[in-house]
Amino acid sequence: MEDRDENSSFINNLTRFDQDYINVTNEMPIGYAVPLYGYFMPFLLVVTIVANTLIVVVLSKRHMRTPTNIVLMSMALCDMFTLLVPAPWLIYMYTLGNHYKPLHPVPICYTWSIMHEVLPNLFHTASIWLTLVLAVQRYIYVCHAPQARKFCTLPNVYKCVGYTLFASALHQAPRLFDTQYSLIIMDNKNVKLEKNSSIGATCINNIVGEPKLFGIIFKLYD
């Protein structure tokens, strides 16, 4: 009972800690996060991997390589990586119940941020923009059929997919610099623990300011 009370007290102390401290438990309502990310997500991950792998296998066959199918295959890959990249962290944090533990050392904090936020948003953004590419492609096929042979070719589609991924990477690039992490030493029952805090990066704040930066980023989704 004493050990359980000590653990509960320790978790409560983390919850009340400064908001700049990386507390995964406080990032979202834990009552919803554990069942959704911890239990439902692994099932969704398996379904996503199987379904999108089948799509890629079929559409990558030589006789199936058309401009439309290339875009569809790229969308399937982006959708799969959107869930596949953060999956190890979500399983560790929520399925295995480690969300209350401090993240350390500092490189782990950057890894968490990149794999949990930056890369999933990158692939999700690319998937959305590829949907727009597909719509434009269908418009050309239907409304400007004579031009389709000139613009809707395999080399052009490969270039378009590459440009879309590059633009998505540029779109998410500021997220790599908007936060920096530093060590915090916290004493709990004479046990020293290394923890990390997140601080808005000075260079980004000085150039455009954090509210304006995120306004620019999310404006692109409108």
pLDDT, tens digit, 9 for 90 and up, residues 181-206 = 777 766 554 444 444 555 444 333 44
State pLDDT tens for residues 28-45. 788 888 888 889 999 999
The reported pLDDT for the residue numbered 222 is: 52
Helical spans, DSSP H, in 17-152? 30-33, 41-59, 67-84, 87-90, 106-113, 119-143, 145-151
Contact 213, 174 (CB under 8 A): yes
Q: Does pLDDT of 133 surpass 90?
A: yes
Contact 104, 196 (CB under 8 A): yes
Domains of the chain in sequence order: 22-176 (1.20.1070.10)
pTM: 0.74
From 52, 101, 102, 114, select the one nearest 81 (Cα to Cα).
52
For residues 71 and 51, what is the distance between their CA atoms, to the nearest angstrom?
A: 16
Specify the DSSP class assigned to residue 1: -
